[in-house]
Amino acid sequence: MDETITKTAKPKLKKPSQFQVLLLNDDYTEMDFVIEVVQRFFAKNEEAAHAIMIKVHLDGEGVCGIYSHDVAQTKVEQVIKFARENEQPLMCVIRELEK
């Protein structure tokens, strides 16, 4: 009896892209508001939120977190909506991480 065992190759799964969510500096948004946004939408403690706010202020942008595209896009929409509701011009964007 001839038994042949065939091995099926498992497809290589591509790791999903990751995206940074960044806050951008402007001359009008209050620093306390930036800290509130970072704590509220990115679950950072006060110390981490303050550090991100300083990074935004000094470098023009600060990374709040790294997420899948859908989560990152949702965070951006939530932050911008909250900022506009509070009459703040704060901008939030996503940037794909280099592979």
Which residues span the domain enclosing 49? 27-96
- 16 in a structural domain: no
- 84 in a structural domain: yes
Dist. CA 36–CA 20, nearest whole Å: 19
The pTM for the full model equals 0.83
Q: Give tens-digit pLDDT for 31-84.
A: 999 999 999 999 999 999 999 999 999 999 999 999 999 999 999 999 999 999
pLDDT for 1: 58
Dist. CA 32–CA 88, nearest whole Å: 11
Dist. CA 45–CA 34, nearest whole Å: 13
For residue 49, give the CATH number of its domain.
3.30.1390.10
The total domain count for the chain is: 1
Dist. CA 88–CA 30, nearest whole Å: 8
Considering just the CA atoms, what is the radius of gyration of the chain in Å?
20
Dist. CA 53–CA 66, nearest whole Å: 17
Dist. CA 36–CA 96, nearest whole Å: 25
- 35 in a structural domain: yes
- 3 in a structural domain: no
